[in-house]
Amino acid sequence: MRVSYCTDLDKSVVVANCEKRGWVQVGPEEDWNIYWAGTQTCRSLFSVDSGYRMNDNQLINHFPNHYEISRKDLLVKNIKRYRRDLEKEGNIMAERGDSKYLHLDFIPVTFVLPADYNMFVEEYRKSPQSTWIMKPCGRSQGSGIFLINKLSKLKRWSRESKTPFQQQLNKESYVISKYIDNPLLIGGKKFDLRLYVLVTSFRPLKAYQFKLGFCRFCTVKYDSSVAELDNMYVHLTNVSVQKHGGEYNSLHGGKLSVQNLRLYLEGTRGKKVTETLFDQISWLIIHCLKAIAPVIATDRHCFECYGYDIIIDNKLKPWLIEVNASPSLTSTTANDRILKHKLLDNIFNIVVPPSGMPDVRWNKIPSSEALGDFELLIDEDLVNASENGENSSARNNSKWK
């Protein structure tokens, strides 16, 4: 049995993992079993014009329309729709109190600009002191982001975009979100969490959370004062931003492991609040996936690993900032390399059936040994099985149903 793989990304962590398994590298035109592809390659492969038809022994690392979760505007749209739908059903999860969703309030208030401009202004007027953050929908790694604290600043920005460049700029829509201005600080510094989630199927939903995430720290002390509003080293945690700061340390890369975050929180804040925080994080990941499940073009050949970016506020409430469908596999430090190597290894262990040969006819229920550092978040097959009264040892926590 020969397993062949193909990749169009020059990532040593991908190649090393495939070689370790004795898989043979082949070109995209050849007969591959696993394709670790960039999103662009994947999209063109699935496009109608390509005429490519995958066989049962082929797997690819993206869903055709992953942008439903990775584009900032679509993610927000999908989550808003999900909440409305639940509300219509009268589902208690969509319960509201004080106009806010009680259980599904995990993204900051967000609008798409220019489309939702009027709705934004209405919301802005409710609390004119708040700071808002503008992000271009289609870009990543912190580019094009800025903070505003006055409506006039936004108006100026929008006037400026109506210059002759209008055509070009108008293509780019933005999301504007209420800025989390009370982030949890450790050692006086702001950070966000990068967590990895593997989805092997959306309908039924099968998702796994990687235990080994990390916190990305800003190099500069947090300061919410207006004077520092334009200092992105204070506000943005993206490594690609922080790398250019004078204080960047390449030995630790500003990264603290999630296990150490947990140790710190339990040690200084207590067990109960820490557990609640991590439960809430799993909760938001699941509901975010459920929100996009109906619109994802589900395909048995696909699996996808998402990079979740989460900010924790000083009341230990987690906020979903965005989801990346092709999280960076570049390693900035030695520990980073170890983590990403494990991540890839564990992903392959889960998506490849016990026989060792990719096979879409497999029921996609990996053994608990195969999970490695992944933990089962949800498997609707197992949930349904246990609901049907079968004596299944589903490890699903009932509260995720």
Partner 1 sequence: MEELKDKNIHQTTIKICEDLKNSSQYKSLFEDIQKLVATPSVKIEDFKSTLLKCMQENGLEAELKNNIYRWVKMKRKESSSYDSFFRKSQIHWDKRIHKSLNSMCSELGISLAKLRGNSEKEELLNKWNELSNFETDIHKYRPVYAPKDFLEVLLNLKGPKRDKSKCDNQRWEFAQLPLRVKNLSELRNLYLEISRGEQILNSNTMLSTNQNFVQLEAERILLGEKILMKNYAPLAQEYLKKGCPKCLRARIWALLLGAEIKSYQISYFDFLKQNVLQYDLMIDKLIIKDINLTASNDDQYFVFEDVLYQVMLCFSRDSEILKYLPNQPAFMQVAFKGKPNTPENTIVFPPSGVIPFHGFTMYAAPFCYLFNNSVELYFVFRAFYLRYWHRLHRVCASSQGIVSLCLQFERLLQCYEPNLWNHFKKCRIYPLRVVIKWIMRAFSGHLPPEQLLTLWDIILAYDSLEIIPLLAVVIVIFRKENLMKVNTLANVEAVLADLSSIAVVPLLQMALMKEEG
- Map residues 158-197 to x or -, x wherever contact with partner 1 holds by CB under 8 A: ----------------------------xxxx-x------
- Is residue 333 a contact residue for partner 1 (CB under 8 A)? yes
Instruction: Tell the smallest beta-carbon distance from residue 314 to partner 1 (Å).
Output: 12
- Is residue 335 a contact residue for partner 1 (CB under 8 A)? yes
Q: Pull the structure tokens for residue 132.
A: 């808002």
- Phi, psi (degrees; rounded to nearest 5) at 276: -60, -45
Binder to partner 1 among 28, 38, 270, 354 (CB under 8 A)? 270
From 24, 66, 25, 74, select the one nearest 45 (Cα to Cα). 66
Contacts of 177 (CB under 8 A, 6+ apart): 107, 108, 109, 110, 111, 132, 133, 135
Comparison of 128 and 187: residue with beta carbon closer to partner 1: 187
- Cis-peptide, bond into residue 327, ω within 30° of zero: no
Which single residue is written with the structure tokens 């140790």? 263
Task: For residue 126, give the amino acid letter.
Answer: K
Comparison of 170 and 249: residue with beta carbon closer to partner 1: 249
- Is residue 227 a contact residue for partner 1 (CB under 8 A)? no
Q: Count, in order, helices (H) and strands (E) of the chain.
A: 13, 18
- Cα separation of 110 and 133, whole Å? 9
Q: Do the beta carbons of residue 26 and residue 15 sit within 8 Å?
A: no
Which single residue is written with the structure tokens 């209420």? 178
Residue 90: which region, alpha, beta or left (left: phi > 0; alpha: psi -120 to 50)?
A: left
- Cα separation of 141 and 275, whole Å? 30
Q: Do the beta carbons of residue 183 and residue 317 sit within 8 Å?
A: no
- Is residue 276 a contact residue for partner 1 (CB under 8 A)? no
- Is residue 393 a contact residue for partner 1 (CB under 8 A)? no
Comparison of 218 and 241: residue with beta carbon closer to partner 1: 218
Instruction: Give the strands of the sheet with 59-60, arranged side by side.
Output: 24-25, 4-7, 34-36, 59-60
- Is residue 243 a contact residue for partner 1 (CB under 8 A)? no
- Cα separation of 347 and 355, whole Å? 16
- Is residue 394 a contact residue for partner 1 (CB under 8 A)? no
- Number of residues in contact with partner 1, rule: CB under 8 A? 27
Instruction: Tell the smallest beta-carbon distance from residue 77 to partner 1 (Å).
Output: 36
- Is residue 248 a contact residue for partner 1 (CB under 8 A)? no
Instruction: Tell the smallest beta-carbon distance from residue 11 to partner 1 (Å).
Output: 22
Comparison of 162 and 271: residue with beta carbon closer to partner 1: 271
Binder to partner 1 among 268, 355, 363, 393 (CB under 8 A)? 268
Which single residue is written with the structure tokens 């580019």? 143
Binder to partner 1 among 271, 276, 297, 354 (CB under 8 A)? 271
Q: Which stretch binds partner 1 (CB under 8 A): 45-53, 65-73, 246-254, 278-286?
A: 246-254
Comparison of 164 and 187: residue with beta carbon closer to partner 1: 187
Q: Do the beta carbons of residue 352 and residue 58 sit within 8 Å?
A: no
Which stretch of DSSP H or E encloses residue 82?
Answer: helix 72-89
- Is residue 287 a contact residue for partner 1 (CB under 8 A)? no
- Is residue 299 a contact residue for partner 1 (CB under 8 A)? no
- Is residue 91 a contact residue for partner 1 (CB under 8 A)? no
Q: Which stretch binds partner 1 (CB under 8 A): 127-135, 200-208, 256-264, 310-318?
A: 256-264
- Cα separation of 249 and 217, whole Å? 11
- Is residue 385 a contact residue for partner 1 (CB under 8 A)? no
Comparison of 118 and 249: residue with beta carbon closer to partner 1: 249
Instruction: Tell the smallest beta-carbon distance from residue 149 to partner 1 (Å).
Output: 24
- What residues make contact with partner 1 under the rule CB under 8 A? 186-189, 191, 217, 221, 249, 251-257, 259-260, 263-264, 266-268, 270-271, 274, 333, 335
